[in-house]
Amino acid sequence: MVGLVAGKSASAAVELDVGDHTIRISNPDRIYFPGTGATKLDLVQYYLSVGDGIVNALRERPCMLHRFPKGLAGDKVHQKRLPVGAPDWVPTVRVYFPRYGRHADELCVRDLAEVIWAVQMSTVEFHPWNSRRADTESPDEWRIDLDPMPDCPWSRVQRVAGVVHEVLDELGAVGWPKTSGGKGMHVYVRIAPEFGFKDVRRAALAFAKEVERRAPDDVTTTWWRRDRDPRLLFVDYNQNARDHTIAAAYSVRGVSDATVSTPVHWNEIPHIDPRDFTMKTVPPRYAQLGDLHAGIDNAVFAIDPLLEWADRDGVDADLDGD
């Protein structure tokens, strides 16, 4: 249940009942998105409107937060540790960062109240891991990131998405596409959590090279940015490396026009413009279509065929570094 409890004036804090918790929203009228004039409270209302979808995307996953304490006009904070002052009902999971030799307790969403609390703490973007609390070292999500270079047109992204769909179908894998909220696309595949990050990354690289083989005029897997043709699309397999995160389905992006990383049907991709999916337009779409990724947990793919491709082609998990 979600409801307004109190609000003395247009600029006063408001309190919302979200599930079993009451969350106080401070500075509700602060402008967060200068391109649209959307406020902090507008952002809260957006996440309430896609509640089941954002929770489905984040559930039980360590989550990095992109926070804007003063709105987009202020500084951006990449927050791995749970913000100070969190109530005791906000769940966390402890993860280790070998590069720094430190642990961090990250937000680990179970319910919508925790999402809204994070928004109260100025979170705009949610970036979950591709593994879950039960075993943070064993990913259960393979992520295909279609990342256009600066001179790559959207039409090329659309065309490569079709190739991705074709290869997934041949593998017997179900892909769940979404816009990135920027100029690219993401496709998620639920996988059995039977391998570590290096093997999943290796499988993702083998898949990326197959897409490149089928669309050599559109795709590159060249690791170093300086060596890539700026007109091509990079299939970024490294998004499957440990502690690499991308914006969740239904996450608003920290850009002036408040675009949203939005699940889409495969047959929509030839006809959509990612700029059309915003904090304003996604709620009515969600009300009509529901969560297009709702069934993702019921379509689990075993990555063994991709690892066989990697063995066949001599793909090394550390081929291009981390």
Tens place of pLDDT per residue across the chain (322 aa): 455 444 434 468 999 999 999 999 999 999 999 999 999 999 999 999 999 999 999 999 999 999 999 999 999 999 999 988 899 999 999 999 887 788 999 999 999 999 999 999 999 999 999 999 999 999 999 999 999 999 999 999 999 999 999 999 999 999 999 999 999 999 999 999 999 999 999 999 999 999 999 999 999 999 999 999 999 999 999 999 998 999 999 999 999 999 999 999 999 999 999 999 999 999 999 999 999 999 999 999 999 999 999 999 888 766 444 3
Helix (H, G, I), strand (E, B) or coil at 278: strand
Positions of E strands within 129-209: 141-148, 176-179, 185-190
Per-residue exposure over 61-79, b if at least 16 CB sit within 10 Å of its own CB, e if not: bbbbbbbbeebbeeeeeeb
Say if strands 141-148 and 185-190 run parallel, antiparallel, or are unpaired. antiparallel
Q: Which of 166, 201, 182, 187 is nearest to 264 (CA)?
A: 187
Is the separation of the CB atoms in 63 and 106 below 8 Å?
yes
Task: Give dist(CA 301, CA 173) in Å, integer.
Answer: 6
- Which position has the token pair 């999943």? 200
The pTM score is 0.94
Task: Give dist(CA 174, CA 161) in Å, integer.
Answer: 13
Task: Give dist(CA 17, CA 139) in Å, integer.
Answer: 34
